[in-house]
Every structure is written in structure tokens, then in C-alpha cells.
Amino acid sequence: MAEKNLSRAARKIAPFKVMQISDQARDLEVQGRKVVHFEIGEPDFPTAMPIITRAKKVLDQQLTKYTAGNGIFELRERITERYSRIGVNVDPKRIIITNGASGGLLLLLGGLMNPGDKLMSTDPGYPGNKAFASTVGAFLKLITLSISNDFQPQLADFQQNWEDAVKGILLASPMNPTGTVVARENLDELSKLSVKKNGFLIVDEIYQGITHKELSYDSALQINEEIYSLNSFSKYFGMTGWRLGWIIVPASTADHFIKLAQHLFISPNTISQYAAIEALSDSCSEILESRVKIYAERLKVLTQGLEEQGFVIPVKPDGGFYLFVDISHTGLDSEEFCLRILREYGVAITPAFDFSERYRSDYVRMSCATDLDSIYLGLERIKLALKSWGV
């Protein structure tokens, strides 16, 4: 049988638990149940109309051929402009447009890691990271973040755990699932540690722009311009299905990454690239900024409603559209909690299993990529559930 030929990477990948929840939610909906969706990691807003309009124009112009492997110059130039507004000087040559942040992360790990190398990252963290590391033959070494430190990564932990095989660090800010923005001083310390160790630092900034407090920096590139920054048009720009992202690499490595991108991807999606120029325009900015305010309002409502019911959200999100919620007072482990509340009350929530070894049993991730009415309905249903379960 053909399974015998599967690689270790293919064998050891666990399915995302969120997919199991989504599938079951869909099944309930097919049966006619109204499901409240707190499980979804995708903005509920449609792609903004100016972007749609631009894409249609691009189709009329039949701009559907391959582009340069690192993306069209005009888009990279617009990204450069965007960084210049926060005082960061990024030559368009250092920007590589990718097939979503997924393509960007693959390109970064493919360009920076050899088989056997280790990459330090955080628990909790994005569950996809492991598959990217496995695919290039590398391993994740996860550093557990603690609630007492507000999920902030600590220099000492990374320093102590930096063994010979470690080649670099991958952080996310704002982080999925906790919404933590890495504090400037912590990021600065970890950047300096990487430099000292001759390693690299990748910062996943795909939730950049969706932030809910005054920050002391907007991009990791303000800390050190040799940081590898990973970004996306999916979240803030609301272009998930368009599969477009970008990475920024140090000038001295750009040629290598451009070559690798040409070989691995040929080029990013052409229509998406031209449309993304519009996403960076002033005409979109107002629409996108208003959405950030809506996420903030939803997070506030959901936080308050959950806390009234005895749920603990030990660290409030600085950014993104998720809450990382302690459900231990329900007496259920997170997977049981999520499966029961979905089946019995039609509320879809992601258990922390995908995101964390340490917090997997007691925590869930609740997404606010759903409208306020649904949030209120979800809160009511959760209240009924707890009551019927005798919590």
C-alpha cells in the first residue's frame, strides 16, 4: 500500500482540531441548526469593495500572466511606502510577495533552516508552524509562555534553551491565539540574543494593524531591520481567499530568497497582486480601520459576557480578534467542553489543543470574527449550557 511511502512530516501532522469543530458545525447547519461561530480564524467581513472593483478591472485588462517571482514592483513599492510612514526604510528589493503568509513562512524556513536544525518558538503559538519546520526537516523547540508574564516571551527562557542545534527564533506579534503584542523591550532583548548567537529572528506580524491599544512600535523592523518579518493580506486587509502575503528579509539575503521564491512558486497570484495595490490605498484605509474598531467592540462585549459567567481571560488581547479563555471552572476539559457545547447548544469554539501543549486542557480560543448579534446569542447559549451542566 502507498502509505508506506509517506514522509515523517506527512505522518506526524495532526489534523487541526478546529477543522473537526468546523466540520461538525457544518453538519449541524445542514441539519437546519443555527450555529454560532466562535471557531473561525478568518475575518467575517467581505473583501472591501475597492479591492473587488480593482480585481475586476485587472481581469478586463487580461493581466493574468506570471509576474516577477518576488511580485510586481508597484505592489512592493506601495508596501515600502507603508513602512516609510512608520519611519522604517525598506527597499522594495527586500520585499517578496508570497502565496499568503503560508508561502512566506515556507520560504523563510526553506531559506534559513537545514535538516536537523531547531527553531525556537512559543507555546501557545500558531499550530501550522510545526508542519513548515517538519517539511524542511527541522524541528520546533517550544518555549512555554506563562500567564504570570502576560504570555510575554522572556529573554532568560530563550537564552537557557538555546542549544547548538537552534538556528533561530520564530515569534508572532500580535500572537495567535492570545492576542499578545510582544513588548518592545522583550522583542529588543530577543533580537539581541539572536544577533549574539549568530541566529535569525522571524516575527510573524500577520495580525499587524488589528491592535486595540497604543503600541510603542508598529513593526518588528523598528527594533532591528535585520529581523525577518512575515506578513499577510488576509487579516487586516481581509483578503483570505486571495492567498497573498509578503516577507521582508535583510538586504544581504534578498537575492537568495528571490531565487528560492522563483523556483518554489514561480510567482504569486497576479490578479491578487494588482488588487492588493488597492488594499494599500487611501480608499480602503477607512473601511479597514473601521473594522478594527468593530473587532475591538466585539472583543469587549464577549469578554464582559464571559467574565460575568465565571470564565477567566487571564490576559486580555492587545491585538487580533481572539480571546484565549480559561474554561476550567466548567469542570470539563477543553475538547469535551467544545464538543458538548457545539452538539448540545450549537456554539462552535476551538479547544486550545491546536495551539498549546501547556494550556490545551483548560483553554479555548474564541474568535470575534462574527457579528455582535451572534456574540450575544452565543453568550446566552453558553449561559444555558453552564446552567444545565450545573456549573
Q: What is d(CA 113, CA 122) in angstroms, rounded to the nearest whole number?
A: 18
Position 229 contacts a copy of itself (CB under 8 A) = no
Position 268 contacts a copy of itself (CB under 8 A) = yes
Position 131 contacts a copy of itself (CB under 8 A) = yes
Position 32 contacts a copy of itself (CB under 8 A) = no
174 cis-preceded (ω within 30 degrees of 0): yes
Position 59 contacts a copy of itself (CB under 8 A) = yes
Among 265, 295, 324, 355, binds a copy of itself (CB under 8 A): 265
Stretch that binds a copy of itself, among 247-255, 288-296, 301-309, 378-386 (CB under 8 A): 247-255
DSSP letter string over 28-65?
HHHTT---EE----S-SSPPPHHHHHHHHHHHHTT--S
Position 179 contacts a copy of itself (CB under 8 A) = no
| Cell representation of residue 30 | 445542514
Q: What is d(CA 34, CA 30) in angstroms, rounded to the nearest whole number?
A: 9
Q: Please report how close the Cβ of residue 372 comes to a copy of itself at its closest, in angstroms.
A: 20
Position 9 contacts a copy of itself (CB under 8 A) = yes
Q: Looking only at residues 311 through 330 of this chain, which bind a copy of itself when binding is defined by CB under 8 A?
A: none
In the chain, beta strands by DSSP E = 36-37, 95-98, 118-123, 139-144, 166-172, 200-204, 228-232, 245-248, 322-326, 347-348, 350-351, 363-367
Position 135 contacts a copy of itself (CB under 8 A) = yes
Position 371 contacts a copy of itself (CB under 8 A) = no
Stretch that binds a copy of itself, among 127-135, 303-311, 313-321, 325-333 (CB under 8 A): 127-135
| Cell representation of residue 254 | 534578498
Q: Looking only at residues 208 through 227 of this chain, which bind a copy of itself when binding is defined by CB under 8 A?
A: 226
First to last CA, the chain: 49
> Which residues partner with 171 through β-bridges?
203
Among 20, 47, 80, 330, binds a copy of itself (CB under 8 A): 47
Position 287 contacts a copy of itself (CB under 8 A) = no
Number of Cβ within a 10 Å radius of residue 301? 15
Q: Looking only at residues 336 through 365 of this chain, which bind a copy of itself when binding is defined by CB under 8 A?
A: none
Position 165 contacts a copy of itself (CB under 8 A) = no
> Which residues partner with 347 through β-bridges?
36
Position 19 contacts a copy of itself (CB under 8 A) = yes
- With contacts defined by CB under 8 A, how many residues of the chain interact with a copy of itself? 81
Position 30 contacts a copy of itself (CB under 8 A) = no
| Cell representation of residue 369 | 470574527
Cα dist. 69→8, 88, 110, 138, 265 in Å? 30, 24, 16, 25, 7
Among 50, 92, 128, 305, binds a copy of itself (CB under 8 A): 128
Position 263 contacts a copy of itself (CB under 8 A) = yes
